[in-house]
Chain A
Amino acid sequence: MRDLNAEHRKVALFGGSYNNWKATEAVLADARKRGCDGIWFLGDVGGFGPHPNRAAEVLREAGIGLVQGNYDDSVGNSREDCACGYTDPRDNHFAQVSYDYTLANTHAHHREWLAAMPTSARIGIGGKTVHLCHGSPRQVNEFLWESTTPAGFIEHLCTANEADLIACTHTGIHWERRLADGRGVVNVGAVGRPANDGRRNVWYSVLELVDGRIRSEFVPVEYDWEAVVGEMRSERLPEEFVETLATGWWTTCLEILPARERVAGRF
């Protein structure tokens, strides 16, 4: 199965722009500064931020690798909702607010681009294979949280997909778990909103082969969140969304969090 889309020496992976075009710009600049010879976006251009066309333009102009997220499929194909996979009515309420706004404000030529994105990709780092996906290799909106992704399941995913590493996003919180043999999952986090840790920065991941093993590093990136907050208020987006960027704590779409991740946040 080792048909690769690209080979890299050092690669930056990020996901979940959620319309946060300022954070997306900052992450791209940081990845280039670090000498990455490949950059991949793991999906969800749209979300709760302002001016959906701007994030799309930033990503298209960057000329980077792309993997489609559930939001991209939904907006690209004008579906009814974001298909994030929430089950609670409160989560779904706020998800629909941001989705309706994003769909209504995404230009038709960006929707075509979103619809045409590939649903997965495979890259090589040294002799190792990394499977890139949005939620999980088997389902675009599967939530791989740290506390609910056990080692046995990771081994199963790596074997079934003939991958040394699986890189995903979708949950918005970065983490990694490795098996004794070095295989594992890296959730690269999201750049569209902070990681529910009380810090305003966002996170992405850099992978590099070190001593025959893929080393991953989570990189914090500061950006002009105040400018984005100003745009969100101008666009009359919910103050709950604004509060998340301004404080670093999630205020919406919390019910999907496992108990362990929930108690780590403020709300």
Chain B
Amino acid sequence: MEALNTEIPDAAAAGMRLPMAWLDTLWLQVTGTVCNIACRHCFISCGPKVKKHDLMTLEQCREALDAAKAEGVRSIWFTGGEPFLHPEILTLMDMALEVGPLGVLTNGMLIDDALAAEIGNRFRDAEYNLEIRVSLDGCTAEQNDRIRGRGVFAAATQGLANLAKHGVPALVAVSLVDDGAMDQALLVDLLKELGLERPRIKWIPPFRIGREENRGRGYEAWEMLSEDDIAHPETARRIQCGTSRTVTNNGVWPCPILINEPAYRLSDRLEGGLGPHRVDHKACYTCYAEGFSCAT
């Protein structure tokens, strides 16, 4: 922690760069941009053949976990793409859970009964918390699948039911892409029917880049942080990149949202990517204005 710069330099010198407060969260893009579906609102445009960022190796993950542990990291999150496409996902989960609490962002479609049982064992027995977060963008197949693809609702809800059967209280992530499209009461009823006794929901604001820029809208010109915003002493703690880093098979990035923006790439390895980083991308405005964190 003390190796990091916790002082905010004067705004003129800092420009549009933000010094990290500390490394709280390590994101591992374990399957890169490789996904079994291609959602219409995906801000990093993932899909079955999208290999802008490919699967990470065990060695790459181990290296990042060791470096993060040395910095006093608090939590690890796996994302992609679809993390459960990784052929060694359970080994990766065990590696991460030795370091700290782990969250996995998934579409839930690949979580069959056997995999749910493996996840359940880890949820009960690991030293630290295991959070499984399943994306669902509608209470019906019609509502969900127009964004996430045909057949996704049935597979995702089966995954949620499998997790519930094995005692894993998955958290459901809902994208707020169309105002009023999701009825919270209906969603709670649905989750209870699936066996989730205490429905837990996280609401995700739209990041207007990638496919979402075409599906919804792009950012307006005024939707950007100002130098005053960045120079404010609380900003590094308020905006998630002030306390997190993302590692893919292709280097280190401030957050999981900007991994397709080469100008924001920080370094090859985590140790070299902990200095001040740019926060002048329009998507940075969503995190700042919404106080949003990809973590739960």
Q: What residues make up the interface of A, taking CB atoms closer than 8 Å to B?
A: 87-89, 138-139, 145, 147-150, 152-153, 155-157, 160, 254-255, 258-263, 267
Contact = CB atoms under 8 A, between A and B. Distances in A.
A32 B127 CA distance: 36
A254 B167 CA distance: 18
Interface of B: 1-2, 21-22, 69, 71-75, 99-101, 123, 127-132, 167-169, 171, 198, 200-203, 237, 291, 293
A88 B201 CA distance: 8
Contacts, number: 70
A153 B129 contact: no
Given A87-B291, A89-B203, 14 more contacts: A88-B201, A147-B128, A147-B129, A148-B128, A148-B129, A150-B127, A153-B73, A155-B72, A160-B72, A259-B129, A259-B200, A260-B123, A261-B129, A263-B167
Nearest to A156: B72
A88 B204 CA distance: 11
Given A148-B128, A148-B129, A150-B99, A262 B200 contact: yes
B72 to A, nearest CB: 3
A258 B127 CA distance: 13
A182 to B, nearest CB: 19
Contacts of A150: 73-74, 99-101, 127-128
Nearest to B293: A87
A145 B127 CA distance: 12
Nearest to B101: A148
A91 B101 CA distance: 22
A263 B171 CA distance: 12
A157 B69 CA distance: 12
18 contacts: A89-B203, A138-B22, A145-B129, A147-B101, A150-B127, A150-B128, A152-B69, A152-B73, A152-B99, A152-B100, A153-B73, A156-B71, A157-B1, A255-B200, A258-B131, A259-B132, A260-B130, A263-B169
B183 to A, nearest CB: 15
A258 B101 contact: yes
Contacts of A152: 69, 72-73, 99-100
A260 B71 CA distance: 25
A208 B201 CA distance: 42
Contacts of B22: 138
Contact of B131 (A149, A254, A255, A259): A259
A139 B242 CA distance: 14
A70 B198 CA distance: 28
Closest 7 CB pairs of A and B: A156-B72, A150-B100, A147-B129, A258-B129, A148-B101, A260-B129, A152-B69
Given A149-B74, A263-B169, A160 B1 contact: yes
A262 B201 CA distance: 13
A155 B128 CA distance: 16
Contacts of B73: 150, 152-153
A138 B69 contact: no
A153 B101 CA distance: 11
B74 A153 contact: yes
B123 A259 contact: yes
Contacts of A267: 198
Interface centre among B69, B129, B201 (most CB of A within 10 A): B129
A261 B123 CA distance: 11
